[in-house]
Structure 1
Amino acid sequence: MKTSTHEVPFDTASAVLPDTMSAVLPDTMSAVLPDEAAALVAKFHEQFGAIRTEVRKVIVGQDDVVEHLLLTLLIGGHCLITGMPGTAKTLLVRTLADALGLTFKRVQFTPDLMPTDITGTDIIEDDITTGHRRWTFVPGPIFTHVLLADEINRTPPKTQAALLEAMQEHSVTVRGTTHSLRPPFFVLATQNPIELEGTYPLPEAQLDRFVFNVLLDYLDAADEVEVVHRNTTRMQPPPIAACTSAEEIVKYQWLVRQVPVAEEITQLAVQMVRSTRPGEAGAPEAVRRYVRYGASVRATQFLCLAAKARALMQNRYHVTEDDLRALALPVLRHRVLTNYQAESDGMSVDAVLKEVIAR
């Protein structure tokens, strides 16, 4: 069957791979003058400051989680959110999408969910004027800017795999026809860490597609009191103003990639990731004892790219060691596989990685 590629003509379509970012940027973006680049940086800081302000209207605390989600967006990646029920995962994602001025769709992953329920399908339509029938593609919820894959580990692997092509290739193939997505495309997948019955753990190949695995923890006492006060005095959340647009976000994704990284910082990132592999000469004792498989080269790429975005968000135009150390845990925790000895000794992945980062 011959495979063809075309763009789906619908209003909410969006996505593209970071590696193909140049294909969707205006031609003038490849040669931005210094003054124009400086103006773009200034606008970036203004808009992302406004985004944080809008999100705080609804979301109490969780500033680190919001930062990680914004970093994921800025590098054109995807994020896995692990949190207990009732920690406002869905509300956070919806609020962030509204503040970014992006379209949002939510898919509740269940055991009976089919791949076409996500990607869309071809249907036969009758042309009344000619009497002929034709195939028409009906896009699924994946054709959006921000896709919330709620409880992604509750659906079988076949349906989970339907996301793989979209996350990696930023396209969807149905009946031999590849439908391209336009940027930006942002998958946020949630997992419940305590309810394991009836779940299908994500395979390592799919976990590796996520830039971060962010832990959404309980709020502290003061923030929890604030949440209770807000819920008892407001009938509905306040309106969220859109602070940017899809076109501007694509420009900011380009801007992030222009942030320079010193050779020493790149070498440090490589050493940090290589230290998670038990067969590596410089691996810490905790890694040799408790780790079965370490992180791949993709982890190093994501770590450096996320560090660029973090530097820009903090009004810096160079990457530091602090950027790498601050992002190493969410980048690596879902890419390092511990062994039975770690489970026996009560050694978590985070505990092992903290030793790596400390070195």
Structure 2
Amino acid sequence: MSGDKCSEENIRQCHELCRQLSNLIAQRVIGQQELIDQILTAFLAGGHVLVEGATGIGRGLIVATLAKAIQGTFRQVYFTPDLTPADLVGREVFIEDLTSGQRRPQLEPGPIFANFLVVRDIPCALPRIQSLLMEAMESGQVTVAGRLRDLPRPFFVLATQNPAIQEETHPLPLEHLDRFLFFLKAEYPSAADEWRIARSAAERPPDLTPIVEVEKWNSFSGLVDQIEFPESLLGYAWALVRASRPRASDSPDFVDRWIASGASTRGLVAFIRATRARALLRGRASVELEDILAVVKPVLRHRISPNEAAQAQAITSDALIDMIMEAVPPNRRYAPPDSSIGAR
């Protein structure tokens, strides 16, 4: 019983911290509350984010403010065609010891050793640079001068891409897209919010006081796995993912007609973790349907690929997700016929 009380208190503390972080960021980035909450959800889940859409709306400022608020380190790097591995991970340099006169190796860390890394225009870098980043995101480690080195905790990447830039780019392959927990669509603020931004442009932003140490944040990292996922909702998430795959026995007829590839098993695991993180962000010990609905598109839109026929009809992955959700309603019971798996 005491363990349950401790868990409930930890959830309450984590929720209150996330609320403070959200409010603090919203003071500096006006009109982007949904984007702020989505980024916080991904960060809480231990995942990474790919963002596409409107530029100049404060995507980097959201991450920079989050870094300052938890006393983490922040860097950003532009993925240009001439970027080298050393520009990202750093290099080993030799420093002369003034006492002995001997030269000893020392790591000169690159931007990837920050807690928070913003990667601008990720498709513009060479594939080998993209692969290097994907490996770091997956393992939390990088190799520098032949030595495997751990990255700091937490380690969070927000990468951006601009679909308007087509020349000399290397679009991320599906296996790389799958490494991102969320794919977010950035939108310009509303007219009212943009008016607020215009009126406050000459004002000095309020001072930023850190609200938690990075070590304390790391202590909350295991809470996501403690969030209960009712079996009925777990079955719904499972059914949505399975319905996205062409040539599957339990997918709707239109899937074969419009979808080239659906969400992977990694995508299902990401879906489950993101849903739990969203419930925790809202201060709840158990997942509710609204949590699934809040993360389904950020989790699945880069994992469901429209085929050529769908693209010719301007059918997007978001539209396909809507169609899948219509074909797979939440008020049914979904589970394999031989399932004996209970809710966690």
Match of 2:300 in 1: 332
Tell me, yes or no, if the aligned pair for 1:259 and 1:317 is still in contact at 8 Å.
yes
What CA deviation, in whole Å up to 9, does each residue of 1:120-141 have, x standing for no partner?
Answer: 1112333343343332221111
Q: Tell me, yes or no, if structure 1 residue 208 matches structure 2 residue 178.
A: yes
Alpha carbons of structure 1 residues 202 and 78: separation in structure 2 relative to 1, 3 Å: same
Tell me, yes or no, if the aligned pair for 2:74 and 2:116 is still in contact at 8 Å.
yes
Tell me, yes or no, if the aligned pair for 2:12 and 2:283 is still in contact at 8 Å.
no
Tell me, yes or no, if the aligned pair for 1:114 and 1:159 is still in contact at 8 Å.
yes
Give the Å deviation of 1:341: 0.3
Q: Tell me, yes or no, if structure 1 residue 259 matches structure 2 residue 227.
A: yes
Match of 1:248 among 212, 216, 219: 216
User: Map of 1:69-108 to 2, 5 A cutoff?
Assistant: 69-108=39-78
Alpha carbons of structure 1 residues 158 and 281: separation in structure 2 relative to 1, 3 Å: same
User: Map of 1:1-359 to 2, 5 A cutoff?
Assistant: 33-231=3-201, 233-234=202-203, 236-358=204-326, 359=328
Give the Å deviation of 1:198: 2.5
Q: What RMSD over aligned residues (CA atoms) do the two structures have, in Å?
A: 1.8
SS state of the match for residue 201, structure 1? coil
Q: Where does the alignment leave 5 or more consecutive residues of structure 2 unmatched?
A: 329-344
User: 1:136 and 1:42 mapped to 2: Cα distance?
Assistant: 43
Tell me, yes or no, if the aligned pair for 1:84 and 1:194 is still in contact at 8 Å.
no
User: 1:259 and 1:206 mapped to 2: Cα distance?
Assistant: 28
Alpha carbons of structure 1 residues 145 and 351: separation in structure 2 relative to 1, 3 Å: same
What CA deviation, in whole Å up to 9, does each residue of 1:109-159 have, x standing for no partner?
Answer: 111111111111112333343343332221111111111111111111111
What CA deviation, in whole Å up to 9, does each residue of 1:266-304 have, x standing for no partner?
Answer: 222111111110111232333221111111001111111
User: 2:11 and 2:92 mapped to 1: Cα distance?
Assistant: 43
Alpha carbons of structure 1 residues 170 and 32: separation in structure 2 relative to 1, 3 Å: farther
Tell me, yes or no, if the aligned pair for 1:286 and 1:352 is still in contact at 8 Å.
no
TM-score with structure 1 setting the length: 0.86
User: 1:128 and 1:96 mapped to 2: Cα distance?
Assistant: 40
Deviates more, 1:222-231 or 1:240-249: 240-249
User: 2:60 and 2:280 mapped to 1: Cα distance?
Assistant: 27
User: 1:123 and 1:62 mapped to 2: Cα distance?
Assistant: 42
Tell me, yes or no, if the aligned pair for 1:54 and 1:241 is still in contact at 8 Å.
no
User: 2:105 and 2:283 mapped to 1: Cα distance?
Assistant: 51
Deviates more, 1:252-261 or 1:33-42: 33-42
- In structure 2, give the amino acid aligned to 1:144: A
User: 1:246 and 1:120 mapped to 2: Cα distance?
Assistant: 23
User: 1:99 and 1:32 mapped to 2: Cα distance?
Assistant: 31
User: 2:112 and 2:25 mapped to 1: Cα distance?
Assistant: 24
User: 2:257 and 2:9 mapped to 1: Cα distance?
Assistant: 51
Give the Å deviation of 1:32: 8.2
Match of 1:4 in 2: none
Tell me, yes or no, if the aligned pair for 1:328 and 1:357 is still in contact at 8 Å.
no
What CA deviation, in whole Å up to 9, does each residue of 1:289-321 have, x standing for no partner?
Answer: 111111100111111111111112222211123
